[in-house]
Amino acid sequence: MAPITVTTTINGEAVSYLCEGDETLLDVLRDRLGLTGAKEGCSTGDCGACSVVLDGRVVCSCLVLGAEAAGREIETIEGMADGETLHPLQEKFIEHAALQCGVCTPGILVAAQVLLARNPSPSEEEVRFGLAGNLCRCTGYDKIVRAVLDAADTMRDGQ
């Protein structure tokens, strides 16, 4: 099979790539485009380390084909900071030490950003349910939840 040519938008920029029919968006991002922020934890939709935003919804990029992205809008962790200025979620993750090895962190940040965009004042329970698809084997989650809630406060104050 000849590879498929895909034109899409990633972090606001038009991007074209070639991919095989059975290649996942995660593999395209990491291996073809050098966007290695999204991580491969399980490749079966269970861990959320590969989370990206596809047309406004957070998805597991390991369960999306690269070919499906044609004409869509994708946002990845690489688009989160504004140049050298970190996003409030990123700031709060550092402040609360909400990461250890960091493998889960890009996926959690992306998922948390979408969660806060839809619900700017979530309860602790809403954060825990909203992020249930993001596994972390290091932190025990408490610091992550606190960082997200604190970032929500900061972001609301900033408005």
Partner 1 sequence: MRYEAPENIETAVKLLAGETGNARVLAGGTDLLVQLRLGHVEPDLVVDIKRIAGLQAITAEDGGFRIGAAVSGAQLGEHDGVRALWPGVVEAVGLIGSTQVQGRASIGGNLCNASPAADAVPALVAAGAVATIAGPDGRREVAVENFATGPGRTVLAAAEIVESILLPARAPGSSDAYLRFIPRSEMDIAVVGAGISLTMAGSGKCSGARVALGAVAERVLLVEEAGEALTGTNLDDRALSRMGDAVAAACRPIDDKRGTKVFRTKVARVLAIRAAKIALERAGRA
Ligand X SMILES: Cc1cc2nc3c(=O)[nH]c(=O)nc-3n(C[C@H](O)[C@H](O)[C@H](O)COP(=O)(O)OP(=O)(O)OC[C@H]3O[C@@H](n4cnc5c(N)ncnc54)[C@H](O)[C@@H]3O)c2cc1C
Which residues sit at the interface with ligand FES, rule CB under 6 A?
A: 40-43, 45-50, 60, 62, 99-104, 136-139
Length of the chain: 159
User: Apex CA 13: angle with CA 85 and CA 44, to 5°?
Assistant: 85
73 binds partner 1 (CB under 8 A): no
Q: In the numeric block, which tokens belong to residue 137?
A: 């084997």
Determine the Cα–Cα distance for residues 76 and 61; give it in Å rounded to an integer: 10
Q: C-beta of 144: minimal distance to partner 1 in Å?
A: 15
Q: Which residues, numbered 18-47, are part of the site for ligand X (CB under 6 A)?
A: 45-46
Residue 69 binds to partner 1 (criterion: CB under 8 A):
no
Q: Which of 5, 7, 31, 70 binds partner 1 (CB under 8 A)?
A: 70
| Structure tokens belonging to residue 67 | 């070919």
- Compute the least distance from the CB of residue 156 to ligand X, in Å: 31
Q: Which is nearer to ligand FES, 42 or 117 (CB)?
A: 42
- Verify binding: residue 40, partner 1, rule CB under 8 A: no
32 Cβ contact partners less than 8 Å away, ≥ 6 residues apart: 17, 18, 19, 66
Q: Which residue has the tokens 């004409």?
A: 71
Minimum CB distance to ligand FES, residue 53 (Å): 14
Question: b/e per residue, 61-82, with b = 16+ CB within 10 A?
Answer: bbebbbbebeeeebbbbbbbee
The token pair that represents 121 in the structure block? 């004042």
Q: Output the smallest distance, CB 19 to partner 1, in A.
A: 9
**Contact positions toward partner 1, by CB under 8 A?**
1, 4, 20-22, 24, 43-46, 48, 51, 54, 57-60, 62-65, 67-68, 70, 111, 114-115, 129-134
**Contact positions toward ligand X, by CB under 6 A?**
45-46
